[in-house]
Chain A
Amino acid sequence: MKPVAFDYVRAQSVAEAVAALTSSGGEGKVIAGGQSLMPMMNFRMVRPSVLVDINRIPGLDRIEERGERLHVGALVRHRMTASDPVIGRHLPVLHAVMENVAHLTVRNRGTFCGSVCHADPAAEMPMMTLLLNGGVHVASPRGERVVAARDFLLSSLTTALEEDEMVTGIALDTLPPGTGWGFEEFARRHGDYALAAVVATMEGRDGCARNVRVAVMGVGDTATRLPGVEAALEGQRVDEDVIAGAVERLRAEIEPNSDLNGSADYRRHLAGVLAARVFRAAWTRAQEGGAA
């Protein structure tokens, strides 16, 4: 369990990092927190010729309010996403979610953007990026482009990132104050990758759910939004019947895989159970928020 030999470049700027990736001819890899990359290198599943370390690039370690959006820089650690007051103000749901990501040591190093680049189907950050209509800011020798989350996350461990590109940050929607939210995940042990997780947000206006967003993870090749389920809740008084309908919809829309930790049948069942809890919680909060 030792990596193959590799070169190491400590980039001082995004331009330098991109240049190093380019000159590696597709053999280079960005290292951020290293929490997913290092294990894969030790297993020799990934064999980069050069590691481009972005940890010393100034300015990437911030969460910034940019108009209606929050910009999460490439060096924002899980620990920060889990505790930053700006996130707390605009996206309390993200705080709740981050509590389920790994353990303190991993959270101190792992980055939000690194997780999205890694694109594990059971990782929370890609799911949240989808939920919050994330725009992935990508730098390359050709300049900068912004890729929508749904176009960025292609499948398990696969993204739309080109070999000479790096992610500089991800822009996320903020949610209006009083937006209701719910999040549930089930893992074999606390901090493990989840067998299934469901997140939803909704505003409560005129006794109905508005702007409903629903995303799931762990139950398919990638985290995903569920437009059909969102539609089933949109504009509704979210009572038990509506919830049952939405859950049924959700179970029909997902295509979970079987693995050691859970069969597809169990995961489908589980996702429905969690969804019902999430919809109830989101609706309750939405009503409290709407009243406030």
Chain B
Amino acid sequence: MSQADLSVEMRPGLVGKRVKRTEDPRLLSGNGQYVDDIKLPNTAHVAILRSDQPHALIRDIRVDHAMDVPGLIAIFEAADLEGEVRPAIPSSRIKGYYATPYWPLARGKVRYVGEPVLAVVAESRYAAEDALALIEVDYEPLPFAIRQVDAVADDAPLIHEEAGTNIIIAREFGRGEVDAVFETAPVRVGAQFRMTRKTATSMENRCYLADYDRRRMAVTLWTSSNIPGIVKDALADSLSLPGARLRVIAPDVGGSFGGKGSLYHEEMLVCALARKLERPVKFTGDRLEELTASSQAFDELIDAELAVDEEGRFLALRAEVIGDIGAYSIYPWTAGLEPVQVVSFLPGPYRIEHYRGRVRGVLTPKPPTGPYRGVGRPSSTFAMERLVDMAARKLGMDAAEIRRRNLIDGEEFPYRTGSGIIWDKSAFMECLEAACAHLDYPALLERQKKAREQGRWIGIGLSCYAELTGIGSRIAVAPGMPINTGTETGTITIDSTGSVIGAFGIASHGQGLETTLAQIIADELGCALEDIEIRQGDSSLVPMSTGTYASRSAVIAGGVAIKTARVVKTKVLRAASILMDVPVEDLDASGGIIRARSSNAAMTFKELANAVYMQMGRIPHDKREDLTGSESYDPYLGTACSSCHVAVVEVDPETYGVRVTDYVVAEDCGRIINPMIVDGQVHGAVAQGIGAALLEEIHYDDEGQLVTASLADYLLPLATDVPDIGIVHIEADLPNNVGGFRGMGEGGTIGAPAAIANAISDALSPLGIEIQTLPATPDRLFRLVEQSRATHLQKGQ
């Protein structure tokens, strides 16, 4: 037992500190291990022959020439896997929904350009691509409707005949007397808003490696996924394998932004092929495949209207939404994930008594839409925040003032929105005020006035929103989805050397969760941060896991980390009490040292572990217990994370180039675990939102071909497009969950498109232009300005 230096103060907590990310030394020194870095002997490589047709029957496949390519192992079509792989069915409780089955390879028919048709397996990817180039597929083209407005028509060609319709999902939310209120409302504003299709584009492409263990007849899949737990459960079913013989590991993952958050054809494929060929099989996607065959995002047409009284109070809101969901309902989230959330979140953080939102999700021959940072809310916030500004403009009211009058505040919490979402108390109003204060809003308005007098087009845009995060088992994170994503299991073990190992079901892919969870455990358990290793991204760690998505991990895994650490701490102090001969009540631990409050007695975790596990007789045999705990946590409900963004833009009045010059985010994410990580999440997400607002657009031409098939055409934001971002953290009332945390990984992408659209509209307001489509490209602005000038000219005559 050592004597602790009493002059050393009890260490203050790590939660709330800018602790450097423990992941970074390995990642920044090139020692990360991504799936493609894993090389197993005798690995076979797959290239996928993908459909070049948007909608067609597969008539004939000729592979003869390909078979002679040196290094070719085999070519598989769907029929070769029949009976070995069952489809994944993205089921939902929503009435009238049709779940499109999800197979590894197209069966008889292709439904989008990029859909996997054949798997070409060879000794190298080069050889596989050489063989692939020699395969001929005869297609019989089928008619199709590529745009959602056409695909909803009764006589539109069907993508899935079995469904009997292209509209495989529809929902309506609402309350009150919407139409009646609109009848008599003094002010009405409305428009058709369009958030064009995007895709997530992380730096690491999708990559999968499956290994087959002949001895155990077991499959291990390494996957660049942020939902390894869900993938495991899906594959266990699809491959008819008991969980004990299937392990899914997500090692270091180079970003996802939602794009790696669904089950993919290729994941099913490499597992099935590894089992069939009894050797490791790897698929490493390239950028072309990433853009043509990963999940896509948004693509809603939102017809929305807001009714307001003369004082700017919101009376009623109604919307009709058509979501272009692509050719399949994504597994496991379903086709409801993106479009249904648009109508459930449209009312935003505002007090709106009367609401109706209707949505239809329609099949088109494109890759499915799936999760994308912010899900649904970037679109809904764009539409709602545009309506708010349009109403303010009509009333001649300041943009901040109209928000002030309508944000839910104070005693109104908890507030139930017209769509049934419950906002627990969060700093809606405080965020607005803080963001305005940070930028000195009145001075900003003055600056804008001066600039306008000089002929410069400067605009200021606000956007307020709230999202539901850390959602427990009460609600599905994807509307109607039957999988429980609200529970998290954690295990914390102190081993015989004093190492603290925390194992969780989450799957960090850039969020720094190894750091934040370690901070939490260090505080709760009292051990040293350096002694903690967080294990995650591996289905074998906990009985059931899902992964990291939907702003859940800090809240739910953080919560279970606290609960479990408390259990282990009790055991630590019980053992210390015996070893130190000090009553438990007199003991506490911090920074890896257990101390007595009323004496100088102290011992380290290392000494304690050694005594508990190794030294016979130090603890009476009937009192000795392992220093380990395993708990689960379910916050049941979700918690609101709110924020206000303010963007200042300058539009070149001649070229219509847009530059974001100033940016501020004020956000309430509850108790902040690590401000540096929160800042990083905000910076990254705002950058992504700038991309959505100004640059990124997945475009399919009338032939159903993707024309933005490289990063020269699908434009991501560069460092030069992102201004310095001011961030104000507001820790107001903490939410009612174990840690007091709110999820904040997605927020920036939700607020930024709306704030920038509002800022551009503000800049162009002298011309009466309201932005309705994002991205606001120079070409789109040019056309809007030309139209506006033509109209003014006509009016003038």
Contacts and interface: CB of A to CB of B under 8 A. Distances in A.
Interface of A: 1-2, 4-5, 43-44, 186, 188-193, 195, 260-263, 265-266, 269-270, 273-274
5 contacts: A4-B133, A43-B288, A189-B720, A190-B718, A261-B777
B778 A191 contact: no
Contacts of A2: 125-126, 129
Contacts of B286: 1
A262 B655 CA distance: 11
A265 B787 CA distance: 13
B707 A260 contact: yes
B23 interface: no
A43 B711 CA distance: 13
B655 A274 contact: yes
5 closest residue pairs by CB, A with B: A1-B286, A273-B654, A266-B782, A190-B720, A266-B779
B790 to A, nearest CB: 13
Interface string B692-724: 000101010000000110001101011011000
B655 A273 contact: yes
Please classify the interface of chain A as helix (H, G, I), strand (E, B), loop, or mixed, using the class held by over half of its residues: loop
A5 B720 contact: no
Interface string B644-663: 00000000001101000000
A44 B782 contact: no
Contacts of B777: 188, 261-262
B433 interface: no
B449 interface: no
B179 to A, nearest CB: 40
A190 B712 CA distance: 12
Interface residue tally on B, bucketed by range: 20 to 34
A272 to B, nearest CB: 9
Interface in B99-132: 125-126, 129-130
Contact of B779 (A191, A192, A263, A274): A263
Residue in B130, B133, B655 with the greatest tally of chain A CB atoms within 10 Å: B655
Contact of B287 (A1, A189, A193, A260): A1
B701 to A, nearest CB: 10
Contacts of A261: 713, 777, 779
A1 B284 CA distance: 11
B657 A189 contact: no
B607 to A, nearest CB: 52
A44 B712 CA distance: 17
Contacts of B288: 1, 43
B146 to A, nearest CB: 16
Nearest to B289: A1
Contacts of A1: 129, 286-288
Nearest to B782: A266
Contacts of A189: 695, 715, 717-718, 720-721
Contacts of B708: 260
B150 to A, nearest CB: 21
A1 B289 CA distance: 9
A164 to B, nearest CB: 27
A42 B717 CA distance: 24
B586 to A, nearest CB: 62
Contacts of B782: 263, 265-266, 269-270
A172 B668 CA distance: 60
A56 B720 CA distance: 35
B718 A195 contact: no
A188 B133 contact: no
B133 A186 contact: no
A195 B779 CA distance: 10
Q: Counting chain B CB atoms within 10 Å of each CB, which of A4, A43, A260 scores highest?
A: A260
Nearest to B695: A188
Nearest to B654: A273
Contact of A188 (B125, B129, B287, B715): B715
Given A186-B655, A273-B654, A44 B133 contact: yes
A190 to B, nearest CB: 5
Nearest to B717: A189
Contacts of A266: 778-779, 782-783
Contacts of B125: 2
B721 A4 contact: no
Contacts of B778: 186, 188, 195, 262, 266, 270
A190 B718 CA distance: 8
Contacts of A262: 777-779
Contacts of A43: 288
Given A188-B777, A189-B718, 4 more contacts: A260-B697, A262-B777, A266-B779, A270-B655
B133 to A, nearest CB: 7
Interface in B274-300: 286-288
Contacts of A188: 695, 715, 777-778
Contacts of B718: 189-191
B695 A4 contact: no
Contacts of B786: 265
B638 to A, nearest CB: 37
B130 A260 contact: no
B126 A5 contact: yes
A191 B712 CA distance: 11
Contact of B130 (A5, A195, A270): A5
Interface in B773-794: 777-779, 782-783, 786
Contact of A260 (B126, B713, B717): B713
Of A191, A195, A269, most B-chain CB atoms within 10 Å = A269
B130 A4 contact: yes
Contacts of B130: 4-5
Nearest to A42: B286
Interface in B516-534: none
A232 B635 CA distance: 74
B106 to A, nearest CB: 21
Interface in B619-667: 654-655, 657
A251 to B, nearest CB: 13
Contacts of B657: 186
Choose among B130, B286, B288, B654 the residue with the greatest number of A CB atoms under 10 Å from its CB: B654
Contacts of B133: 4, 44
A179 B783 CA distance: 37
Nearest to A3: B126
Contacts of A192: 712, 715
Interface in B347-403: none
B56 to A, nearest CB: 23
Contact of B699 (A190, A193, A260): A260
Nearest to B128: A2
Nearest to A188: B715
A124 B717 CA distance: 22
Nearest to B70: A5
A263 B781 CA distance: 12
B48 to A, nearest CB: 12
Contacts of A195: 778
Nearest to A184: B655
A273 B652 CA distance: 11
B131 to A, nearest CB: 12
A186 to B, nearest CB: 5
Contacts of A273: 654-655
Interface in B141-181: none
Nearest to B707: A260
A117 to B, nearest CB: 19
Nearest to A187: B657
Contacts of A265: 782, 786
Interface in B680-696: 695
Contacts of B720: 189-191
Contacts of A269: 782
Nearest to A4: B130
A2 B712 CA distance: 18
Contacts of B713: 260-261
A269 to B, nearest CB: 6
A2 to B, nearest CB: 5
Contacts of A190: 718, 720
A43 B286 CA distance: 11
Interface in B541-587: none
